[in-house]
Structure 1
Amino acid sequence: MEQQAQKRVSKACDACKRRKVKCNGQERCQQCAHLGLRCVYSPSNKQRSQGKRGHIISEFRNQTANANATSPPILPANSGHGMYQPSYGAISPPIERNGSDATASPSSPFPSQYSKSFFLDLIPDYVEGVYPVQPVISEHELRQYIQVMDTDQEVRSFIYAFGGCTLNLTRYGENRTQEVVQTIEHLMDCSIDSMRPARKHFHFSVMRAMQSMFIHNCLMSLQGSDAAFFYMRDAISIIQLLRIDNVENAGNLTPPERSRRQRLYWQAYIHERFLAILDYRRAILPPLYTLPESDPTLPLQVHEGFNQIIKLFRLLDTEFLNSWLDSQGGSVTSTWVEAKSRELEGDPEADARELANLSMMQRADLTITREWLRTLVWRLAMGQTLLSSRSSKECLSLLFPVRLSQTLRQQVSSMSRDDLEVHGSSITQKLFEITDTIADVLIHVPAATLDETALRIDDFLFILDFVLLFPQLDQTRRGILLEKLERLQTMFPEAVSNASSPNLPLDLQSPGVTDPWYQVTQSKTAAGLEDLADVQVPIIEIPRAEARVGQLATWNHISKRLTMATFGTT
């Protein structure tokens, strides 16, 4: 009896008092443990307030948080009105599950961190910058989801991922502040923490697959490549559970829904193939039996642009990936290289007509992806010593990256940075691969004349400057490019002279036999290995008198351009 009396007189904690709910009086009561609140017992006898329940939890969380910093509001790129202001110092601690099913309650561990208006105001950015390249969840669906997110945990968990991905792909340049990056990561974490685990009666859906795709997108930009791979495979698992690749099953769906699921499948296919190249991982999704069917609910421009990018990534077939992942180069021959290059070239006239109907954002993605794929093919050929400076075929020419740098400079000059950065980390990685390859050729394959060298250096510095400004470029890849810039700088020190005898440096020679790139300059055909022959790379002769003065001026111009190229080092 005495024990029962003691239980009745044990007082409630501050949070339970204010919310007017039952408290078990423990050191950390059950209610606070469930909601992730600090459990505080104050001696105060003040009258309890009569505020709203959701407001009280939020207010109490802010009062008991240790951090004082508050971030500025994160506004949509296309919105001019105020938004809810998230606090980065008041992020909730992990939920204590205590062995119970934490998904039983519809309450979110972050009930009022972001309001509905926060997510509704992101929709215009999503429609403009995310949906054209990930055309699965429509604007209408998003609005429906946001309306019910307070009462449906699965929907709420998805909406967090939608918000993080939208900010990730639409905040670039000066708009990508540290506060924005923190918000992206916090929304992603909210989505992961509130995601229902797969239990016996796991509910899989298109929405759930896209949630993992959105999380994958955020992690790629946050340099979490291993976790990004995990969520990519999670999305693929759900896609396989949906049996999208089953023709009979697809026939039972309405045409718009069938097309939407086909787009989901191809989106995962594209992302997985990209990861296979980027991180040397195996791909498990085969190509779908068809391209996405026409969908009257999808803008024609989005449909055509998405199908074009699918066609490019279909070139990364099993043979291509096996050759890329095989350190010995697999079955790469000059015949294979030429055939793959012809596929990439396509029909210039037809391609031009198709591009004319697309937005600049879509054109930028297609253009850079095509040049990236051409670079990959060239690198496979290089690995098998199929290249020659004497080849009349561009795909087998040792100087292909040099010509590519000229083309790429013209292309990016006609694009806005926004049209490129909206594609996130994927476009950054592609541009890195291209730029890195160009740098290697500049370092190891001398030009015939100093004037030609000056042109090559100028094109390279333009592209390098362009790539180093991408915020998604990680420090490792940034360091690789800057290291190669330093290598070029040491190759062209400033030359001094007296009036009669210019001191022109003499190290512009063909690669020596100890240089691994020397082996690249040997040529072999598809029929078999030809006799190895040295490639005759022209050696710059030392000119006399006034000609030497002109050479000296060109040399010092190159040296000055390289010396002044200090971008990205601060």
Structure 2
Amino acid sequence: MPSNKPITIACDACRRRKVKCDGQQPCIRCGSAGLICCTTSVRRKKGRQGATATVLQELRKAPEPLHTNTNNVISTPTPQSTVISNRFVRKSGLLTPNLVQSCADYFFARMLGTVPILLPTTFQSHVDRTSECLHSYCLVVAFCAFVFTQTGYTSCLDPENQTAGRGKPLLDEALSARRLLDPFAAPTRHGITIAFLLYGCQIGMGNQRQAYYFLREATTLYTAGMLDQADAGVDDNEGNLFWLLLISERAHAIRRHRPITLQITPDSPVLDDTQSDPSSIGFRCLAELYRPFDHMFLSRWNGTDPSSSRELLIQLEEHLQQAVPADLELPDILLADLRVSQQWLRTMIWQLATSTGFLSSTPSHPCLGFAYPLQIARDLSLATWKLSKESLETHGIGLVEKLFEITCTLTDVMACISPAGLRSSSFDIGPQDYLKHFCTLIHGLPGGQNKFLPLLLAKISQTLPSMLASVTRHLGLPVQGQPAPTDMDMDMGSPVGYRNDWYKAFEWGEVSRIGDKTPEIEGQTLFGEGL
């Protein structure tokens, strides 16, 4: 029997329309009108707040609420004249509960220390609303696509790599849903989260232009002042969001010579240094690594500001050493990203010193010496030898690309060293060992064997041909006599997996700045014809 107890709190839509609410969730009137049914704890002030006749039409124009019909169609409540153009057909069987749970388990167990953009409770709230809210559905699909394309999830889930192509359909679904969204119709944090996840997906797919578009959208939404305190909430730390965007933007800007949007000011969010859990410590160290790589550094890096100095580069190098101490003890997953990022940034400093002519035969600091990449390679080799393969796989293609850039710089330096200087002595490891170790890592990590290893072997064959046979034997690969095999070799199942189009289209200037111009040491040419 229906209860005669009066309804004390009507839902928001019924209260605005001044109609009787039955108190159910959802109520009958919202269900029949195609409106989202929710009740806020804040009561509106009494009195007319506008023309009553237009309230229903105004509510129906809101892009946030959704409903799912029996044909698995998610559609936004819109006026009759535009309902067809705004319908979104959810792809059946793509976003299964098992898939969502599996991706969430992997991400929150491994990635919170480097990508703290969501917490489990926040993500679960979006999962619960995927059937009624297009923003939540788009976020969850983009999240799963991110896990497939940007991390080592596929390798962990399927060692035989049979599910490697599942990220593309998820990304396509997220992009299709996002085309119907107004980024200003939902809390800005949702829009920033979706844009960042799509940025990571595009990076994982190798689409650099699309990735930059979504990264700029995320940082622009943040800097536009749309993120108010009401949206920040208590579950997601605004400081984490700011620093995650800053880290991603500066890493991308260094790789691709792009401008940056976010700047560190006295009003910038401060990371909570009272938390002592490993994830918080690891993220604070990661943020500290990128702190000094601001627009001033990038202007010098891009060649638009010639005012760089040796003292500045030395300060940057010393900052990197202090940001991640050598005796820092953290789980392997956190250390893997920290150590590789630290050595990659040290390599970038040395490349800037090279292109600006600051290398010296009697350097005032090791970072201004020609052999500095050998020291970087040694430090990184010792660090990664202690780490598990799974910890390196977690960080996906981004970590592999950093390893690749470090190895290319090492190869360029090795080409200028005598054969005797390349070999190890006694029980000490030498440059040849570093090179083989990095090639082994790239060969075994997700995305490395098919994309970066062919490019690396091609560079070795051009720059350091005496090492090609040794490296390929070390990897268990047939010795390649050409920079890239023919299509017939590909058809015959070459384990190297070369792609001629990758080799031809690759921009070597993004890998190593050594070849930008011939550096000099106190008036004498440093490199020979081999570079």
* Same fold per superposition (TM over 0.5): yes
Deviation at residue 459 of structure 1 after TM alignment: 2.1
Q: Tell me what 2:140 maps to.
A: 159
**Matching residue within 313, 317, 334 for 1:341:** 317
Q: Are 2:344 and 1:372 equivalent residues in the alignment?
A: yes
Matches within 5 A, 1:270-289: 270-287=247-264, 289=267
Q: 1:242 to 1:299 in 2, by over 3 A?
A: farther
What is the SS of the residue equivalent to 2:234? helix
Asked if the contact 1:389–1:535 (Cα under 8 Å) also holds between the matched residues in 2, the reply is no
1:77-105, CA deviations, whole angstroms, 9 ceiling, x for partnerless residues?
A: xxxxxxxxxxxxxxxxxxxxx99356855
Structure 2: state its 5+ residue gaps.
1-67, 74-79, 470-513
Give secondary structure in 2 for the equivalent of 1:270.
Answer: helix
Question: Offset at 1:217?
Answer: 0.9
- 1:256 and 2:255 aligned: no
Distance (whole Å) between structure 2 residues aligned to residue 522 and residue 443 of structure 1: 17
Contact 1:309 1:366 in 2 (8 A): yes
Q: Distance in 2 between matches of 1:517 and 1:238?
A: 35
Give the share of equivalent positions with the same residue, in percent. Answer: 18
- TM-superposed deviation, 1:309: 0.6
2:113 to 110, 114, 132: 132
AA paired with 1:376? M
SS in 2 for 1:346: helix
Match of 2:282 among 295, 301, 305: 305
Report the counterpart of residue 58 of structure 2 in structure 1.
none
Aligned partner of 1:387 in structure 2 is 359
**How far apart, in 2, do the equivalents of 1:53 and 1:209 lie?**
29
Write the letter of the residue equivalent to 1:142.
F
Match of 2:487? Answer: none
1:485 and 2:457 are equivalent in the alignment: no
Alpha-carbon distance, 1:270 to partner: 1.0
Q: Deviations over 1:315-352 (max 9, x none)?
A: 211221111111x772222222222212222277xx35
Q: Which one has a bigger Cα radius of gyration?
A: 1
Aligned with residue 458 of structure 1, among 430, 433, 436: 433
Given that residues 409 and 459 in structure 1 are in contact (C-alpha distance below 8 angstroms), is that contact kept between their aligned partners in structure 2? Answer: yes
- Closer/same/farther in 2, CA of residues 319 and 172 from structure 1, 3 Å limit: same
In the alignment, is the contact (CA less than 8 A) between 2:142 and 2:171 conserved in 1? yes
Deviations 1:538-559 (A, max 9, x none): xxxxxxxxxxxxxxxxxxxxxx
Decide whether the 8 Å contact of 1:420 with 1:427 is kept in 2.
yes
477 and 125 in structure 1: CA distance in 2 versus 1, 3 angstrom threshold: closer
Instruction: For 1:301, give the aligned amino acid.
Output: P
Cα distance in 2 for residues equivalent to 1:487 and 1:477: 15
Give the conservation status (yes or no) of the 8 Å contact 1:103–1:196: no
> Who is 1:37 aligned against?
none
Taking structure 2 as the reference length, the TM-score comes to 0.67
Q: For residue 167 of structure 2, what is the amino acid of its counterpart? A: I
Residues 460, 468 of structure 2: 8 Å contact kept: no
Number of the residue aligned with 2:393:
421
Partner of 1:436: 408
What is residue 202 of structure 2 aligned with on the other side?
Answer: 219
Q: 2:164 corresponds to which residue?
A: 181
1:192 partner SS: helix
Please show how residues 341-360 of structure 1 align to structure 2 within 5 Å: 341-346=317-322, 351-352=325-326, 355-356=328-329, 358-360=330-332
Cα distance in 2 between the residues matched to 1:155 and 1:53? 17
Work out the CA distance in 2 between the residues paired with 1:433 and 1:295: 32
Aligned to 2:215: 232
Structure 1: gaps of 5 or more residues: 1-51, 59-97, 495-514, 524-531, 538-570
TM-superposed deviation, 1:211: 1.3
Contact conserved, 2:232 with 2:238, CA < 8 A, in 1? no
Question: Which residue identity is paired with 1:460?
Answer: L
Aligned residue for 2:443? Answer: 468
- Alignment-mate amino acid for residue 386 of structure 1: F
Question: 1:564: which partner in 2?
Answer: none
Aligned mates of 1:268, 1:253 — CA distance in 2: 17
Take 1:367 and 1:220, find their aligned partners in 2: how far apart are those partners? 21
Q: Distance in 1 between matches of 2:420 and 2:191?
A: 57
Change beyond 3 A, Cα 1:517–1:101: closer
1:256 touches 1:295 (CA, 8 Å); kept in 2?
Answer: no
CA distance 1:352–1:464, shift in 2 (3 Å): closer
Out of 57, 60, 82, the residue aligned to residue 100 of structure 1 is 82
Q: 1:448 to 1:334 in 2, by over 3 A?
A: farther
Counterpart contact for 1:150–1:156, Cα < 8 Å: yes
| Equivalent in the alignment of 1:171 | 153
1:212-271 per-position Cα deviation (integer Å, ceiling 9, x unaligned): 111111111111111111111122232234545xxxx55x787836x6122112111111
CA gap 1:438/1:102 in 2 versus in 1, 3 angstroms: farther
* Pair 1:123 & 2:104 matched: yes
1:550 corresponds in structure 2 to none
2:122 equivalent among 125, 134, 141: 141
- Rate the CA distance shift 1:369–1:330 in 2: closer, same or farther, 3 A: same
Q: Matches of residues 479-518 of structure 1 in structure 2 within 5 Å? A: 479-487=454-462, 490-491=465-466
Task: Report the RMSD for the aligned CA atoms in angstroms.
Answer: 3.6
- CA distance in 1 between counterparts of 2:323 and 2:243 reads 23
Q: 1:165, 1:184 within 8 Å by CA — same for their partners in 2?
A: yes
SS at 2:316 equivalent: helix
TM-score by length of 1: 0.63
Partner in structure 2 of residue 42 of structure 1 = none
For the 8 Å contact 2:378–2:434, the answer to whether it is kept is yes
